[in-house]
Amino acid sequence: MIGKIGLEEHFAIEETLQDSAGFLAPSVWGELSSRLIDIHERRLREMDQHGMQMMILSLNAPAIQAICDPLAANEMAIRANDFLAEQVAKRPDRFQGFAALPMQDPALATLELKRCMQDLGFKGALVNGFSQVNDPENVVYYDAPQYAEFWRVCEDLDAPFYLHPRNPIPSWSQIYSGHPWLMGPTWAFGQETAVHALRLMASGLFDHHPKLKIILGHLGEGLPYSIWRVDNRNGWVQDEKAYPAKKKLGEYFQNNFYLTTSGNFRTQSLIDAMLEIGSDRILFSTDWPFENIDHAAIWFDSTSISAADRLKIGRTNAIDLFKLQL
């Protein structure tokens, strides 16, 4: 398929490059680091070779979210966003941007989101999971009450918010002890992000802000397969729900969430996601440079879905969601 658009596609600046050093084997660090730093050379060649018209670029992980000092996090976010805006300006026909945000301070994050959307022309934000605030052990999730104004502004700006994974902090990772292979994309990324997404659903956030748009990668971090059970639990027991949200969580999943194919190139998983939330809410992505563009594109172009669904997932859903002028 020609004209695909991807929206979980990462880059790094020199100050955040080492944040990605532990995700893959040391033997491929030279390759991965060169992929992260490059934007206009190999990345574009790979896109051209595999029918990818555009990438919406985002900073690597955890980057801003792991900078405990809120002011330092804000400074780094501004630096990364300014750099990204410069790169997008060189080829706006091929690249657009997601804002990196200093979620350690909701007021600063709100100001930076406004700047990126209104002044830099970004298409939303991508945030790398929870933020560490003032102390590495102080972890904050975005269902907390101090984020109420941030979410109001996010809805007012019609800014899609991509909730991207990061690993749990070491003191919370005992279940992975002795099994480091379970960290990252194998399991910990999905588990951590799914729980964060469920917390947002259960908090009542989408009752207050029904037009909010949250994006999850990797075909939903396992939630399409599990969301029914999350709501049903022991369905024969008539106990009251223990969270503020007014609806079943599956309803928010279907109405406020979008999923991408980033790093999950499996037809059975795609069809499960389509059955759960519909093809109008699924979008193509590759997860470059951590995954290969050719692996994503060759699979997607031949996967057994209808031509209409392939066009929506590969292209037109992104055009509609991000109001792209193509």
For 164-188, the pLDDT digits (tens) are 999 999 999 999 999 999 999 999 9
pLDDT at 235 > cutoff 90: no
Tens-digit pLDDT profile for residues 68-109: 999 999 999 999 999 999 999 999 999 999 999 999 999 999
Q: Which residues contact 243 (CB under 8 A, 6 or more apart)?
A: 202, 203, 204
Q: Write down the architecture of domain 4-322 according to CATH.
A: Alpha-Beta Barrel (3.20)
Q: What is the mean pLDDT of the chain?
A: 97
DSSP labels for 110-167?
HHHHHHHHHTS----EEE-SSEE-SSTT-EE-TTSGGGHHHHHHHHHTT--EEE---P
Sign of the CA dihedral 74, 218, 122, 156?
negative
Lookup: tokens for 218: 């990797």
pLDDT at 25 > cutoff 90: no
pLDDT at 234 > cutoff 90: no
CA distance 2 to 299: 14
pLDDT at 287: 98
Sign of the CA dihedral 109, 114, 120, 123?
positive
CA distance 67 to 22: 17
pLDDT at 27 > cutoff 90: yes
Catalytic residue among 287, 294, 309, 320: 287
Tens-digit pLDDT profile for residues 294-323: 999 999 999 999 999 999 999 999 999 999
82 labelled catalytic? no
Per the CB < 8 A criterion, the answer to whether 282 and 217 are in contact is no
Q: What percent of the chain has pLDDT over 90?
A: 95
Q: How far apart are the first and last CA of the chain?
A: 16
* Strand positions, DSSP E, the chain: 4-11, 52-59, 95-97, 125-127, 131-132, 139-140, 161-163, 214-216, 257-260, 282-283
Q: What percent of the chain has pLDDT over 70?
A: 100
- Three-state SS string over 220-247 comes to CCCHHHHHHHHHHCCCCCCCCCCCCCCC
Query: What residue spans define the domains of the chain?
Result: 4-322
240 vs 231, higher pLDDT: 231
